[in-house]
């Protein structure tokens, strides 16, 4: 089957009957410390009857196929070998493999599509790609009884608890998209986060609403104090070095940094090893949070507005996803690149510079 590769706007009918317009005008754009413009994302969505949820990504409807504007799909993925068919960029078509649907089933419930394509496996993407959909879902569910979230299974307990707190439903009430099927009626919001191109998009209201609800749920009336926190990430430095894999943000002297921070009274913990009801109150107390760039730093969503964030990156820098989240949430953000490794040496943190940036006595 040959389908046209289309975007969000091309899933709208001319009379607008399958389109739910945004509920508010976009919030003002914000600018990150590195100078990137982050635009707000509308909370509009299309309503598709008898849409096919395709194996390996995307939605097919009336011989139109779309993935890019519905879930995370950076430009270099558009020729990936796991796509459901052969892309033809000259004609903007895709030839779907004959077995792409496999053993399908039909679901008659009204379903709500959520972008957790990558967020299902990565906590950072879960925060900046997925949680902003909760505000749209709660609004629609008031008008559409029985509206059911459609998403991929969430493997981490903290993800599941955050999801249930924001969507106000148990995971058992969701349709977990583990195989292709036909949806009788599918509500598909515009992808809420698009972190590519010259100007990025992130749902300002949706993300801020989610962060406020999470703090209310687990941090209550906690008032930030002078507490400084370092979010640790376990690294088997010896094993990485032995395999020749010690590079990027895998620094050989992380232990030295941890010891110096601990001696200065900084609170250190690894968020991936603690439950959300412990992480959230700790971060709500913080005046400053320091961490190596990675999914663990996405826990900044629990920080109160005004909390200072210090991101440690490799000498090459890092994707600005967490800088974007922090900026939208009103968290002052700094990113500190580490020195270029000397020839033949593994990457190292400039511990003294990190301590100075964090205003911690050396």
pLDDT tens track for 301-351: 999 999 999 999 999 899 999 999 999 999 999 999 999 988 878 889 999
Residues 6+ apart with CB under 8 A from 263: none
Q: How far apart are CA 251 and CA 37, in angstroms?
A: 31
Rounded to 10°, the helix 321-328/204-218 angle is 80
For residue 60, the model assigns a pLDDT of 93
Give 169-216 pLDDT, tens digit per residue.
Answer: 999 999 998 889 999 999 999 999 999 899 999 999 999 999 999 999
- The 3-class SS string of 132-197 reads CHHHHHHHHHHHCCCCEEEECCCCCHHHHHHHHHHHCCCHHHCEECCCCEEEEEEEEECCCEECCC
User: Which phi and psi angles does 139 have, rounded to 5°?
Assistant: -65, -45
Q: Which two tokens stand for residue 161?
A: 């608890």
> pTM of this prediction?
0.93
Give the residue among 206, 77, 53, 197 at the shortest CA–CA distance from 135.
206
Distance CA 353, CA 329 (A): 26
Q: Give 34-92 pLDDT, tens digit per residue.
A: 999 999 999 999 999 999 998 778 999 999 999 988 888 887 787 787 788 888 989 99
| pLDDT at residue 98 is higher than 60 | yes
Please provide the CATH number assigned to the domain covering 226-357: 3.40.50
pLDDT of residue 177: 86
Q: In angstroms, how far apart are the furthest CA atoms of the chain?
A: 66
Check residue 245 and give its pLDDT: 53
User: Residue 289, SS3?
Assistant: strand
Instruction: Please give the full DSSP string across 109-130, using - where no structure is assigned.
Output: EEEEE---TTTTT-HHHIIIII
Residue in 209, 210, 189, 193 with CA at minimum distance from that of residue 40? 193
Give me the residue spans of the domains in the chain.
2-215, 226-357
Bridge partners (DSSP) of residue 281 are none
């Amino acid at each position: 089957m040959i389908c046209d590769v289309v975007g969000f706007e091309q899933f709208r009918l001319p009379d607008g009957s399958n389109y739910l317009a945004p509920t508010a005008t976009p919030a003002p754009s914000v600018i990150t410390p590195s100078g990137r413009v982050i635009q707000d994302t509308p909370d509009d969505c299309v309503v598709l009857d008898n849409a096919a949820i395709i194996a390996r990504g995307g939605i097919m409807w009336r011989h139109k196929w779309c993935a890019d504007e519905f879930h995370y799909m950076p430009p270099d993925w558009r020729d990936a070998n796991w796509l459901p068919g052969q892309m033809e960029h000259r004609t903007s078509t895709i030839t779907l493999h004959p077995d792409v649907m496999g053993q399908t089933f039909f679901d008659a419930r009204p379903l709500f599509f959520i972008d957790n394509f990558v967020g299902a496996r990565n906590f950072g993407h879960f925060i900046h790609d997925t949680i902003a959909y909760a505000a749209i879902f709660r609004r629609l569910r008031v008008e559409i009884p029985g509206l059911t979230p459609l998403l991929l299974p969430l493997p981490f307990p903290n993800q599941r608890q955050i999801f249930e707190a924001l969507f106000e439903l148990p995971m058992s009430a969701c349709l977990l998209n583990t195989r292709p099927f036909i949806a009788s009626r599918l509500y598909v919001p515009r992808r809420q986060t698009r972190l590519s191109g010259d100007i990025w998009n992130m749902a300002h209201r949706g993300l801020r609403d989610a962060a406020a609800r999470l703090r209310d749920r687990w941090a209550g009336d906690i008032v930030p104090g002078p507490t400084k926190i370092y979010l640790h990430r376990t690294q088997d430095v010896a094993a990485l070095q032995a395999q020749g894999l010690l590079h990027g943000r895998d620094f050989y002297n992380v232990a030295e940094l941890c010891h110096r921070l601990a001696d200065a009274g900084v609170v250190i913990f690894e968020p991936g090893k603690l439950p959300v009801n412990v992480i959230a109150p700790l971060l709500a107390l913080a005046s400053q949070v320091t961490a190596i760039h990675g999914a663990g730093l996405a826990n900044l969503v629990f920080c109160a507005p005004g909390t200072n964030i210090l991101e440690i990156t490799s000498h090459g820098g890092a994707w600005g996803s967490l800088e974007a989240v922090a900026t939208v949430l009103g968290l002052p953000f700094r990113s500190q690149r580490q020195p270029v490794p000397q020839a033949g040496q593994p990457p190292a943190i400039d511990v003294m510079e990190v301590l100075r940036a964090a205003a911690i006595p050396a």
